[in-house]
Amino acid sequence: MDLSKVVKNAFLLSVGAVALTGEKMKDASDVLLAKGEETVNQGKDLNQELKRRMKDKAGDHVSSAVAHMTREERDALRKKLDEADKAEAPKAEEPKKEEEPKKEEEPKKEDAPKAEEPKTE
């Protein structure tokens, strides 16, 4: 085997290796991308499920706590809830401040359109 053929084969081998590596990297990145999207979607679903469970448990806990309260404790709770509603009511009723309309600046004499001079022929 002569030297030029060895060099040519080595060059073609390296080009083939680069091409194969590029193809495999693209395939691997596609797989990783799909897996990442799947994992994010599963995380979102799990988060929603956990929120729902916590809301249910909190509701159950409150119901259980209220069921075990005495009449006086429930009256005290009602009073606190009424006070909280009253404290929150003015905040909800406050009108939002509207932004003042911006005044348009009058064009400067330099910026004002100039009247066209009549054309004379």
Q: What is the pLDDT of residues 40-86, one digit of tens each?
A: 999 999 999 999 999 988 888 888 888 899 999 999 999 999 999 99
What residue segments make up the domains of the chain, in order of their start? 7-89
Q: What's the rounded Cα separation, in Å, for the pair 71 and 77?
A: 10
**CB-CB contact of 74 with 66 (8 Å):** yes
**Per-residue pLDDT at 119:** 61
**Per-residue pLDDT at 116:** 58
Q: What's the rounded Cα separation, in Å, for the pair 71 and 69?
A: 7
Q: Which comes out higher in pLDDT, residue 102 or 28? A: 28
**Per-residue pLDDT at 60:** 86
Buried b (16+ CB within 10 A) or exposed e, 52-87: eeeeeeeeeeeeeeeeeeeeeeeeeeeeeeeeeeee
pLDDT average, residue stretch 87-101: 66
